[in-house]
Amino acid sequence: MAMTDYPYASDFLNPQPAWPVNASCEAFKDINVTTPQKDVPNVDPLTDYQREILTAVKTASDIYFNYTGQTNCTNYNDTDATGNLDGAGWNVLACNQLAMPTAMGPKSMFLEEPFDYAAYTKECQETYGLTPDYTWALREFGGANPTFNYTKDYLSYSNIIFSNGELDPWRAGGVNNYVSPDLPVYLIRGGAHHLDLRLPNATTDTNTTDVYWVREQEKMLISQWVDDYQGTSSMMSDGVYDLKNLIQ
């Protein structure tokens, strides 16, 4: 849900309203966490407070899993939760060259769960006949130490735009710091996963996020790259825009 926290209704994964994270939090707004729990002995194993919390959890999860009432019963075994997206394609990549060993630490809101390399490798081999290459992406593209190695690893790169959405959980694994004048880095305020790559939305793009401005910069940069390659000149690269200033 956080990955698709767009400022308009969408069905990229499952049908969801605008700002689905905020919508899901509404389920908890009237619960007073300081209210003493009231036991109901011999009637129900749950207290009133516990029942209220569990009901709110169900209501919140339905914002993602059953917002339009499309199912009679939520399938909580659907841990991939990819909805309309065919998640198997990504699973093949993750079992091959783009393995992503994610874990939950002791400070996470989720139950602590370390990544089990042996179990994941076995699952990939049994499911797809593939053995994950856990270091391929770092060997191929660099970034093993993003705090210190951005300039060192990416110095010879060009024609790359690093854009991340402020609300996108995947932002933590992206390039978020300045690299060089030739490698622009954009953080889209109010943006979720690849918002700049989605179709423009005239109502929200100019009012609630930075995405309209970021798209304009991306168009100018790509136009400049095409012109440089073809040896041509266009309206977007005829000196009207100072690209060095735009990307700093």
Mean pLDDT by 10 residues, the chain (248 residues): 92 91 93 62 68 90 90 76 77 93 87 94 96 92 72 82 93 84 90 92 75 92 92 57 42
Ordered by start, the domain boundaries in the chain are 1-68, 88-128, 136-246
pLDDT at position 149 is: 62
Contact yes or no for 96/28 (Cβ under 8 A): no
pTM: 0.80
Q: To which CATH superfamily is domain 136-246 assigned? A: Alpha/Beta hydrolase fold, catalytic domain (3.40.50.1820)
Q: Which fold has domain 1-68?
A: Four Helix Bundle (Hemerythrin (Met), subunit A) (1.20.120)
Instruction: Indicate the residue type of 157.
Output: Y
Q: What is the pLDDT of residues 40-75, one digit of tens each?
A: 555 556 777 888 888 999 999 999 999 998 888 877
Tell me the C-alpha distance between 16 and 18, whole Å: 7
pLDDT at position 232 is: 81
Instruction: Indicate the residue type of 77.
Output: N
- For 193-230, give the DSSP string: TTGGGSPP-TTTTTTT-SHHHHHHHHHHHHHHHHHHHH
Tell me the C-alpha distance between 134 and 144, whole Å: 12
Tell me the C-alpha distance between 13 and 65, whole Å: 10
- Secondary structure (H, E, C), 140-161: HHCCCCHHHHHHHHHCCCCCCC
